[in-house]
Amino acid sequence: MKEVLIATNNKGKAKDFEALFKPFGVQVLTLNDIEGNIDVEETGTTFEENAILKAETVANLLGKIVIADDSGLEIDALDGAPGVYSARYAGLEKNDDANIDKVLGELAKTPEEARTARFRCVLAVAGPGIATETFSGSCEGIIHSQRQGTNGFGYDPIFYLPEQKRTMAELSPEEKSAISHRGAALSKLKSKLPQYMEGDQK
């Protein structure tokens, strides 16, 4: 079976990618599936910079084509925070629960109509024989006043989708794939996928 390596340590993202690649019959591997402990420090100030940094660093270490994902939540009432700092919003130790509590606390006095937000995702592809490229996608929603649903990861339980009348954490993996920022970015990358898999000589 064909495989892609996603340069991520996030098991929630890995599940999203499994659902996204399933229709193509492509097997998803992540850094959790390979030997060693690769963790790239995210020193960039944009999703693009961090996605490229992760993709190129891991591609260089492994000598193969990889896809990296840098993503996050932009909340308008917080001037775009947590943005690129989404994973470490409540502190250096990554903690989805603490991050959600921090956001809900900051928005406690913000009325529903002013709680607009979006998820953003930038995918970067890098590796031997190809020029690094990026693909981006976004998904609009509203920050809900409490958690709802148990699917997905990260901020999904508080990301309310008015059209679905549910939070992202109440969608099935297939439903999330169809509307998510990650799905939108991957659909731009999709047409180049055969080229990336052929270009990889390893």
Which amino acid, residue 134? T
| 10 is a site residue for ligand Y43 (CB under 6 A) | yes
- Tell the smallest beta-carbon distance from residue 143 to ligand Y43 (Å): 12
Q: How far is CA 184 from CA 43, 75, 119, 174, in A?
A: 25, 19, 11, 13
Place of tokens 């659902």: 19
Residue 153: name its binding partner from ligand Y43, Mg ion, none (Cβ under 5 to 8 Å by kind). ligand Y43
Which string of x and - marks every residue 69-88 that binds Mg ion (by CB under 5 A)? ------------------x-
CB of 93 to ligand Y43, least distance (A): 12
Question: CB within 8 A of 23, min separation 6: which ones?
Answer: none
Q: 96: which residues sit within 8 A by CB, 6+ positions away? A: 153, 154, 155
Active-site residue flag, 70: yes
| CB 4 within 8 Å of CB 26 | yes
Question: Which residues within the stretch 106-165 sit at the binding site for ligand Y43 (CB under 6 A)?
Answer: 119, 152-156
Least Å distance, CB 94 to Mg ion, is 8
Residue 141 interacting partner from ligand Y43, Mg ion, none (CB closer than 5 to 8 Å by kind):
none
For position 72 contacting ligand Y43 by CB under 6 A, the verdict is: yes
CB 181 within 8 A of CB 139: yes
> CB-wise, 20 or 53, nearer to Mg ion?
53
Pick between residue 152 and residue 196 the one whose CB is nearest to ligand Y43: 152
- Per residue, the 3-state secondary structure of 53-102, as one string, reads HHHHHHHHHHCCCEEEEEEEEEEHHHCCCEHHHHHHCCCCCCCHHHHHHH
Least distance between ligand Y43 and beta carbon 169 (Å):
8
Q: Which of 16, 69, 70, 200 is catalytic?
A: 70
Flag whether 153 is marked binding.
yes
Cα 115–Cα 116–Cα 121 angle in degrees, nearest 5 = 130
Which residues are annotated binding-site positions for Mg(2+)? 41, 70
Annotated catalytic sites, by residue?
A: 70
Which residues are annotated binding-site positions for substrate? 8-13, 71, 153-156, 176, 181-182
